[in-house]
Amino acid sequence: MENKTHLVDEITGHRRMRRNRKADWTRRLVQENRLTVDDLIWPIFLIPGNGIIEPIPAMPGVNRMTVDKAVEAAKEAADLGIPALATFPNIEMELRDETGSNSLEKNNLINLASAAIKKAVPNIGVITDVALDPFTSHGHDGILRGNEIVNDETVEQVARAAVYQADAGADIIAPSEMMDGRIGAIRQALDAAGHQNVGIMSYATKFSSAFYGPYREAISTGGLLKGDKKTYYIDPANGTEAVRDAALDVEEGADMLMVKPGLPYLDICWRLKEAFGLPTFAYQVSGEYAMIKAAAANGWIDGERVMFETLLAFKRAGCDGILTYFAMDVARYLARK
Ligand code: PBG
Protein backbone atom coordinates (compact mmCIF):
# COMPACT_ATOMS: atom_id res chain seq x y z
CA MET A 1 0.00 0.00 0.00
CA GLU A 2 1.24 3.39 -0.97
CA ASN A 3 1.42 6.10 1.63
CA LYS A 4 -1.15 8.75 0.82
CA THR A 5 -0.40 12.35 1.52
CA HIS A 6 -3.14 14.67 2.46
CA LEU A 7 -2.02 17.19 -0.15
CA VAL A 8 -2.43 14.99 -3.24
CA ASP A 9 -5.67 13.52 -1.94
CA GLU A 10 -7.11 16.97 -1.62
CA ILE A 11 -6.25 17.81 -5.19
CA THR A 12 -7.26 14.55 -6.92
CA GLY A 13 -10.27 13.68 -4.79
CA HIS A 14 -11.34 10.24 -6.05
CA ARG A 15 -10.04 10.95 -9.57
CA ARG A 16 -6.97 8.84 -10.30
CA MET A 17 -6.06 8.31 -13.96
CA ARG A 18 -3.48 5.71 -13.03
CA ARG A 19 -6.10 3.14 -11.92
CA ASN A 20 -6.64 2.15 -15.57
CA ARG A 21 -2.92 1.99 -16.22
CA LYS A 22 -2.01 -0.19 -13.26
CA ALA A 23 -1.53 -3.54 -15.04
CA ASP A 24 -0.99 -4.98 -18.44
CA TRP A 25 -4.56 -6.32 -18.47
CA THR A 26 -6.15 -2.95 -17.64
CA ARG A 27 -4.03 -1.25 -20.25
CA ARG A 28 -5.10 -3.78 -22.88
CA LEU A 29 -8.71 -3.38 -21.81
CA VAL A 30 -8.78 0.40 -22.23
CA GLN A 31 -6.57 0.65 -25.33
CA GLU A 32 -8.40 2.86 -27.85
CA ASN A 33 -6.50 2.16 -31.05
CA ARG A 34 -4.80 -0.89 -32.46
CA LEU A 35 -2.54 -1.47 -35.40
CA THR A 36 -3.29 -4.58 -37.44
CA VAL A 37 -1.96 -6.02 -40.67
CA ASP A 38 -5.15 -4.78 -42.36
CA ASP A 39 -3.92 -1.20 -41.89
CA LEU A 40 -0.85 -1.62 -44.07
CA ILE A 41 -0.08 -0.66 -47.65
CA TRP A 42 3.43 -1.61 -48.76
CA PRO A 43 5.17 0.72 -51.28
CA ILE A 44 7.68 -1.13 -53.49
CA PHE A 45 10.22 0.03 -56.08
CA LEU A 46 10.55 -1.60 -59.50
CA ILE A 47 13.52 -1.88 -61.86
CA PRO A 48 13.78 -3.37 -65.34
CA GLY A 49 15.39 -6.78 -65.87
CA ASN A 50 15.18 -10.13 -64.21
CA GLY A 51 16.27 -11.68 -60.94
CA ILE A 52 17.64 -8.50 -59.39
CA ILE A 53 17.12 -7.11 -55.89
CA GLU A 54 19.20 -4.03 -55.15
CA PRO A 55 19.36 -2.08 -51.89
CA ILE A 56 18.60 1.66 -51.67
CA PRO A 57 21.36 3.23 -49.53
CA ALA A 58 19.23 6.01 -48.02
CA MET A 59 16.48 3.54 -47.10
CA PRO A 60 18.15 0.66 -45.23
CA GLY A 61 16.07 -2.50 -45.59
CA VAL A 62 14.24 -1.26 -48.72
CA ASN A 63 15.12 -2.64 -52.15
CA ARG A 64 14.42 -2.06 -55.80
CA MET A 65 13.18 -5.24 -57.48
CA THR A 66 12.67 -6.59 -60.95
CA VAL A 67 9.13 -7.70 -61.79
CA ASP A 68 9.77 -11.40 -61.08
CA LYS A 69 11.11 -10.53 -57.62
CA ALA A 70 8.22 -8.14 -57.04
CA VAL A 71 5.84 -11.03 -57.73
CA GLU A 72 7.62 -13.13 -55.08
CA ALA A 73 7.46 -10.21 -52.65
CA ALA A 74 3.75 -9.76 -53.39
CA LYS A 75 3.13 -13.43 -52.58
CA GLU A 76 4.96 -13.08 -49.31
CA ALA A 77 3.02 -9.90 -48.46
CA ALA A 78 -0.30 -11.57 -49.29
CA ASP A 79 0.58 -14.58 -47.14
CA LEU A 80 1.21 -12.23 -44.24
CA GLY A 81 -2.19 -10.62 -44.84
CA ILE A 82 -1.07 -7.25 -46.20
CA PRO A 83 -4.07 -5.92 -48.17
CA ALA A 84 -2.29 -3.88 -50.85
CA LEU A 85 0.93 -2.79 -52.54
CA ALA A 86 1.79 0.58 -54.07
CA THR A 87 4.27 0.35 -56.94
CA PHE A 88 6.86 2.92 -58.09
CA PRO A 89 9.05 2.36 -61.16
CA ASN A 90 12.69 3.33 -61.64
CA ILE A 91 12.90 3.24 -65.43
CA GLU A 92 15.93 3.52 -67.72
CA MET A 93 17.24 7.06 -68.22
CA GLU A 94 16.98 6.61 -72.03
CA LEU A 95 13.22 6.20 -71.67
CA ARG A 96 12.72 9.49 -69.81
CA ASP A 97 11.78 12.59 -71.79
CA GLU A 98 10.28 16.08 -71.48
CA THR A 99 6.68 14.86 -71.47
CA GLY A 100 7.08 11.52 -69.71
CA SER A 101 5.82 9.68 -72.77
CA ASN A 102 6.71 6.25 -71.37
CA SER A 103 3.77 6.67 -68.99
CA LEU A 104 1.59 6.05 -72.05
CA GLU A 105 3.32 2.79 -73.02
CA LYS A 106 0.92 -0.07 -72.48
CA ASN A 107 3.75 -2.39 -71.45
CA ASN A 108 5.88 -0.04 -69.41
CA LEU A 109 7.51 -1.22 -66.20
CA ILE A 110 4.68 -0.31 -63.85
CA ASN A 111 2.05 -1.95 -66.07
CA LEU A 112 4.10 -5.13 -66.56
CA ALA A 113 4.42 -5.37 -62.80
CA SER A 114 0.67 -4.88 -62.21
CA ALA A 115 -0.19 -7.57 -64.75
CA ALA A 116 2.34 -10.05 -63.35
CA ILE A 117 1.36 -9.43 -59.72
CA LYS A 118 -2.39 -9.66 -60.37
CA LYS A 119 -1.90 -12.88 -62.34
CA ALA A 120 0.18 -14.60 -59.65
CA VAL A 121 -1.37 -13.04 -56.54
CA PRO A 122 -4.92 -12.02 -57.47
CA ASN A 123 -6.00 -11.27 -53.91
CA ILE A 124 -3.54 -8.52 -53.12
CA GLY A 125 -4.59 -5.00 -54.12
CA VAL A 126 -2.36 -3.10 -56.54
CA ILE A 127 -2.26 0.68 -56.22
CA THR A 128 -0.48 2.65 -58.92
CA ASP A 129 0.64 6.28 -59.06
CA VAL A 130 0.05 8.21 -62.29
CA ALA A 131 2.37 11.13 -61.61
CA LEU A 132 4.86 11.64 -64.43
CA ASP A 133 8.04 12.07 -62.35
CA PRO A 134 9.41 8.54 -62.92
CA PHE A 135 9.07 9.15 -66.67
CA THR A 136 10.29 12.72 -67.17
CA SER A 137 13.84 13.81 -67.91
CA HIS A 138 13.42 16.77 -65.51
CA GLY A 139 11.95 14.86 -62.55
CA HIS A 140 8.77 16.93 -62.38
CA ASP A 141 5.37 15.30 -61.93
CA GLY A 142 3.92 16.97 -65.02
CA ILE A 143 4.73 18.16 -68.51
CA LEU A 144 7.25 21.00 -68.57
CA ARG A 145 6.69 23.73 -71.20
CA GLY A 146 9.22 26.53 -70.88
CA ASN A 147 9.34 27.14 -67.16
CA GLU A 148 5.86 25.90 -66.41
CA ILE A 149 4.41 22.57 -65.39
CA VAL A 150 1.32 22.80 -67.55
CA ASN A 151 -1.84 21.71 -65.80
CA ASP A 152 -4.47 20.71 -68.32
CA GLU A 153 -2.18 18.90 -70.73
CA THR A 154 -0.74 16.94 -67.80
CA VAL A 155 -4.24 16.05 -66.59
CA GLU A 156 -5.13 14.66 -70.01
CA GLN A 157 -2.01 12.55 -70.05
CA VAL A 158 -2.36 11.17 -66.54
CA ALA A 159 -5.99 10.28 -67.26
CA ARG A 160 -4.88 8.30 -70.31
CA ALA A 161 -2.07 6.68 -68.34
CA ALA A 162 -4.59 5.74 -65.64
CA VAL A 163 -6.63 3.79 -68.20
CA TYR A 164 -3.54 1.80 -69.28
CA GLN A 165 -2.77 1.14 -65.63
CA ALA A 166 -6.31 -0.12 -65.05
CA ASP A 167 -6.12 -2.22 -68.24
CA ALA A 168 -2.97 -3.82 -66.83
CA GLY A 169 -4.76 -4.75 -63.61
CA ALA A 170 -4.31 -1.87 -61.18
CA ASP A 171 -7.15 -1.90 -58.64
CA ILE A 172 -6.75 1.65 -57.40
CA ILE A 173 -5.30 4.63 -59.23
CA ALA A 174 -3.46 6.99 -56.91
CA PRO A 175 -2.57 10.28 -58.59
CA SER A 176 0.16 12.15 -56.72
CA GLU A 177 0.94 15.00 -59.11
CA MET A 178 -1.48 17.55 -57.59
CA MET A 179 -2.72 19.01 -60.89
CA ASP A 180 -6.12 20.72 -60.67
CA GLY A 181 -9.04 18.68 -61.97
CA ARG A 182 -7.19 15.39 -62.16
CA ILE A 183 -9.58 13.31 -60.04
CA GLY A 184 -12.60 14.16 -62.17
CA ALA A 185 -10.69 13.60 -65.41
CA ILE A 186 -9.35 10.22 -64.25
CA ARG A 187 -12.81 9.13 -63.08
CA GLN A 188 -14.31 10.04 -66.46
CA ALA A 189 -11.56 8.30 -68.40
CA LEU A 190 -11.79 5.14 -66.29
CA ASP A 191 -15.57 4.99 -66.62
CA ALA A 192 -15.44 5.58 -70.37
CA ALA A 193 -13.06 2.63 -70.65
CA GLY A 194 -15.32 0.35 -68.61
CA HIS A 195 -13.29 0.54 -65.41
CA GLN A 196 -16.14 1.48 -63.08
CA ASN A 197 -14.73 -0.76 -60.37
CA VAL A 198 -11.27 0.76 -60.36
CA GLY A 199 -11.04 3.16 -57.43
CA ILE A 200 -9.20 6.42 -56.93
CA MET A 201 -7.10 7.14 -53.88
CA SER A 202 -6.29 10.80 -54.10
CA TYR A 203 -2.96 12.07 -52.83
CA ALA A 204 -5.31 14.83 -51.73
CA THR A 205 -2.95 16.80 -49.62
CA LYS A 206 0.57 16.42 -50.82
CA PHE A 207 2.88 18.94 -49.27
CA SER A 208 5.97 20.51 -50.77
CA SER A 209 8.21 18.61 -48.38
CA ALA A 210 11.87 17.88 -47.80
CA PHE A 211 10.92 14.44 -46.50
CA TYR A 212 10.83 12.93 -50.03
CA GLY A 213 14.63 12.96 -50.43
CA PRO A 214 15.36 9.22 -50.22
CA TYR A 215 12.46 8.37 -52.56
CA ARG A 216 14.03 10.53 -55.24
CA GLU A 217 17.19 8.47 -54.86
CA ALA A 218 15.09 5.29 -55.06
CA ILE A 219 13.63 6.18 -58.47
CA SER A 220 16.69 8.19 -59.59
CA THR A 221 14.97 11.55 -60.01
CA GLY A 222 16.94 13.42 -57.36
CA GLY A 223 19.72 14.52 -59.68
CA LEU A 224 17.30 15.38 -62.47
CA LEU A 225 14.92 17.70 -60.68
CA LYS A 226 15.21 21.30 -61.81
CA GLY A 227 13.86 23.75 -59.28
CA ASP A 228 11.23 22.54 -56.86
CA LYS A 229 7.59 21.44 -56.83
CA LYS A 230 6.15 24.47 -55.06
CA THR A 231 3.87 25.48 -57.93
CA TYR A 232 1.85 22.30 -57.53
CA TYR A 233 2.38 20.80 -54.04
CA ILE A 234 0.88 22.48 -50.96
CA ASP A 235 2.86 24.87 -48.75
CA PRO A 236 3.61 23.07 -45.44
CA ALA A 237 2.33 26.21 -43.68
CA ASN A 238 -1.23 25.76 -44.97
CA GLY A 239 -3.84 23.55 -43.31
CA THR A 240 -7.08 25.17 -44.42
CA GLU A 241 -5.90 25.26 -48.03
CA ALA A 242 -5.20 21.52 -47.75
CA VAL A 243 -8.77 20.88 -46.59
CA ARG A 244 -10.14 22.94 -49.51
CA ASP A 245 -7.98 21.03 -51.99
CA ALA A 246 -9.22 17.71 -50.57
CA ALA A 247 -12.84 18.95 -50.82
CA LEU A 248 -12.41 19.37 -54.58
CA ASP A 249 -11.09 15.80 -54.88
CA VAL A 250 -14.07 14.49 -52.92
CA GLU A 251 -16.44 16.42 -55.19
CA GLU A 252 -14.68 15.08 -58.28
CA GLY A 253 -15.13 11.48 -57.14
CA ALA A 254 -12.20 10.36 -54.99
CA ASP A 255 -12.97 7.10 -53.14
CA MET A 256 -10.18 7.51 -50.61
CA LEU A 257 -7.94 10.33 -49.45
CA MET A 258 -4.28 10.37 -48.55
CA VAL A 259 -2.13 12.74 -46.55
CA LYS A 260 1.55 12.94 -47.42
CA PRO A 261 4.01 13.13 -45.67
CA GLY A 262 2.56 11.52 -42.56
CA LEU A 263 3.81 12.27 -39.09
CA PRO A 264 4.40 16.03 -39.47
CA TYR A 265 0.83 16.33 -40.83
CA LEU A 266 -1.31 14.46 -38.30
CA ASP A 267 -3.51 17.55 -37.91
CA ILE A 268 -4.40 17.26 -41.59
CA CYS A 269 -5.27 13.55 -41.20
CA TRP A 270 -7.64 14.47 -38.39
CA ARG A 271 -9.18 17.41 -40.26
CA LEU A 272 -9.83 15.40 -43.44
CA LYS A 273 -11.37 12.49 -41.57
CA GLU A 274 -13.61 14.89 -39.62
CA ALA A 275 -14.58 16.92 -42.67
CA PHE A 276 -15.30 14.15 -45.19
CA GLY A 277 -15.46 10.79 -43.43
CA LEU A 278 -13.84 9.09 -46.41
CA PRO A 279 -11.34 6.28 -45.89
CA THR A 280 -8.23 8.29 -45.08
CA PHE A 281 -4.63 7.16 -45.39
CA ALA A 282 -1.28 8.59 -44.41
CA TYR A 283 1.91 8.05 -46.37
CA GLN A 284 4.82 7.63 -43.96
CA VAL A 285 7.31 8.77 -46.56
CA SER A 286 10.90 7.87 -47.29
CA GLY A 287 12.46 10.62 -45.15
CA GLU A 288 10.38 9.63 -42.13
CA TYR A 289 11.49 6.02 -42.60
CA ALA A 290 15.13 7.01 -43.09
CA MET A 291 15.20 9.13 -39.93
CA ILE A 292 13.90 6.28 -37.79
CA LYS A 293 16.33 3.80 -39.38
CA ALA A 294 19.31 6.13 -38.99
CA ALA A 295 18.64 6.93 -35.34
CA ALA A 296 18.03 3.26 -34.57
CA ALA A 297 21.25 2.24 -36.34
CA ASN A 298 23.13 4.66 -34.10
CA GLY A 299 21.52 3.20 -31.00
CA TRP A 300 19.85 6.54 -30.26
CA ILE A 301 16.28 5.18 -30.29
CA ASP A 302 14.63 1.78 -30.12
CA GLY A 303 13.71 1.50 -33.81
CA GLU A 304 11.03 -1.14 -33.38
CA ARG A 305 9.18 0.73 -30.66
CA VAL A 306 9.38 4.03 -32.54
CA MET A 307 8.06 2.29 -35.67
CA PHE A 308 4.99 1.00 -33.80
CA GLU A 309 4.46 4.28 -31.98
CA THR A 310 4.45 6.32 -35.20
CA LEU A 311 2.08 3.90 -36.94
CA LEU A 312 -0.30 3.89 -33.98
CA ALA A 313 -0.23 7.70 -33.99
CA PHE A 314 -1.74 7.61 -37.50
CA LYS A 315 -4.58 5.43 -36.24
CA ARG A 316 -5.19 7.79 -33.32
CA ALA A 317 -5.26 10.71 -35.77
CA GLY A 318 -8.16 9.07 -37.62
CA CYS A 319 -6.37 7.20 -40.41
CA ASP A 320 -7.79 3.96 -41.74
CA GLY A 321 -4.41 2.79 -42.92
CA ILE A 322 -0.82 3.73 -43.63
CA LEU A 323 1.47 3.46 -46.63
CA THR A 324 4.73 2.50 -44.96
CA TYR A 325 8.09 0.99 -45.87
CA PHE A 326 7.84 -0.81 -42.52
CA ALA A 327 4.82 -2.82 -43.74
CA MET A 328 6.62 -6.17 -44.02
CA ASP A 329 8.48 -5.74 -40.72
CA VAL A 330 5.22 -4.94 -38.95
CA ALA A 331 3.34 -7.79 -40.64
CA ARG A 332 6.04 -10.29 -39.68
CA TYR A 333 6.10 -9.02 -36.12
CA LEU A 334 2.30 -9.25 -35.80
CA ALA A 335 2.33 -12.75 -37.32
CA ARG A 336 4.83 -13.94 -34.67
CA LYS A 337 2.75 -12.59 -31.80
C1 PBG B 1 6.05 12.01 -56.80
C2 PBG B 1 6.16 11.13 -55.62
C3 PBG B 1 6.82 11.47 -54.45
C4 PBG B 1 6.77 10.35 -53.61
C5 PBG B 1 6.01 9.37 -54.26
N6 PBG B 1 5.63 9.88 -55.52
C7 PBG B 1 7.44 12.72 -54.01
C8 PBG B 1 8.35 13.45 -54.89
O9 PBG B 1 9.43 12.98 -55.20
O10 PBG B 1 8.01 14.55 -55.25
C11 PBG B 1 7.42 10.30 -52.28
C12 PBG B 1 7.38 9.03 -51.55
C13 PBG B 1 8.34 8.97 -50.43
O14 PBG B 1 9.09 9.92 -50.15
O15 PBG B 1 8.36 7.92 -49.78
N16 PBG B 1 4.97 11.86 -57.59
CATH code at 62? 3.20.20.70
> Within a 13 Å sphere around the CA of 54, how many CA atoms are in the beta-carbon half?
14
Cβ contact 136:145 at 8 Å: no
Same domain, 271 and 218: yes
Alpha carbon nearest to ligand 1 atom 6, residue = 176
Q: Give the three-class secondary structure for 261.
A: coil
Residue 74 C-alpha from the chain's centroid = 17
Cβ contact 82:124 at 8 Å: yes
User: Could you give the number of structural domains in the chain?
Assistant: 2
pTM of the predicted structure, to 2 decimals: 0.96
Residue 156 has a pLDDT of 98
Strand ranges (DSSP E) for the chain?
A: 40-46, 53-55, 63-65, 84-89, 125-129, 143-145, 148-150, 172-174, 199-206, 256-260, 280-284, 321-324
Ligand 1 within 6 A of 325 CB? no
Number of helical H runs and strand E runs in the chain = 12, 12
Residue 4 has a pLDDT of 64
> In the chain, which stretches have pLDDT less than 50?
none
- Average pLDDT of the chain is 96
Q: Give the three-class secondary structure for 46.
A: strand
Catalytic, out of 118, 206, 229, 273: 206
Nearest CA among 337, 330, 336 for reference residue 82: 330
Ligand 1 within 6 A of 133 CB? yes
Residue 202 has a pLDDT of 97
Ligand 1 centre from 90 Cα, in Å? Answer: 12
Alpha carbon nearest to ligand 1 atom 11, residue = 212
Same domain, 154 and 5: no
Residue 307 has a pLDDT of 98
Residue 181 has a pLDDT of 98
Is 337 a known active-site residue?
no
Q: φ, ψ for residue 273 (rounded to 5)?
A: -60, -45
Residue 46 C-alpha from the chain's centroid = 16
Same domain, 124 and 261: yes
Ligand 1 centre from 91 Cα, in Å? Answer: 15
Ligand 1 within 6 A of 217 CB? no
Task: Return the ligand 1 atom nearest residue 43 CA.
Answer: 15
Ligand 1 centre from 123 Cα, in Å? Answer: 26
Residue 1 has a pLDDT of 52
Ligand 1 centre from 116 Cα, in Å? Answer: 24
**What span, in angstroms and rounded, lies between the C-alpha atoms of 168 and 67?**
14
**What span, in angstroms and rounded, lies between the C-alpha atoms of 200 and 203?**
9
End-to-end CA distance of the chain: 34
Same domain, 5 and 69: no
Residue 10 has a pLDDT of 86
Catalytic, out of 69, 118, 229, 260: 260
Same domain, 128 and 159: yes
Residue 250 has a pLDDT of 98
Same domain, 274 and 223: yes
Alpha carbon nearest to ligand 1 atom 10, residue = 212
Same domain, 92 and 185: yes
Same domain, 20 and 123: no
Ligand 1 within 6 A of 285 CB? yes
Task: Please enumerate in sequence order all residues whose Cβ is within 8 A of that of 304, keeping only pairs 6 or more positions apart, or say none.
Answer: 296, 329, 333
**What span, in angstroms and rounded, lies between the C-alpha atoms of 165 and 93?**
21
Same domain, 14 and 132: no
Cβ contact 280:257 at 8 Å: yes
Ligand 1 within 6 A of 212 CB? yes
Residue 1 C-alpha from the chain's centroid = 50
Same domain, 11 and 149: no
Residue numbers of the domain that contains 200 = 37-336
Residue 11 has a pLDDT of 87
Same domain, 26 and 43: no
Ligand 1 within 6 A of 206 CB? no
pLDDT tens figures, 256-290? 999 999 999 999 999 999 999 999 999 999 999 99
**What span, in angstroms and rounded, lies between the C-alpha atoms of 211 and 112?**
29
Residue 9 has a pLDDT of 84
Same domain, 191 and 316: yes
Is 260 a known active-site residue?
yes
